Amino acid sequence: MSTKKNLTLRMEPELKDKAAQLFNELGMDLSTATGIFYRQALRCHGLPFEVKIDEPNETTYSAMEAAEKGEKLFGPYKTVSDLMEALNA
């Protein structure tokens, strides 16, 4: 019979409560969910999900650069229809 060891995790109470509620809906407790995470990490030889920094796309970078230079700024608009017309242009 296998022996189990204790593991202490520190996290924000709100995160713990939300996670516990989710896992409870899935029919498991936090301990079981944590065990599943470790098993998947071992199976994948790393984190079982992609970890990355989301980068803005080129259009967003161009808009940010233009805004910093004070270019291509529009508005304020006097009416919603003026705003919608500019958005749809």
Determine the pLDDT at residue 89. Answer: 79
Determine the pLDDT at residue 55. Answer: 86
Determine the pLDDT at residue 26. Answer: 97
Q: How far is CA 54 from CA 26, 48, 50, 51, in A?
A: 29, 18, 11, 9
Q: How far is CA 7 from CA 30, 65, 70, in A?
A: 11, 47, 53
Output the six-digit token pair for 3: 């022996």
> Long-range contacts: 75-81, Cβ < 8 Å, 24+?
none
Map out the domains of the chain as residue ranges. Answer: 13-44, 58-88
With a cut of 70, which residues of the chain have pLDDT below it?
1
Say what angle helices 30-44 and 13-25 make with each other, to 10 degrees.
90
pTM attached to this predicted model: 0.56
Determine the pLDDT at residue 1. Answer: 62
Determine the pLDDT at residue 70. Answer: 81
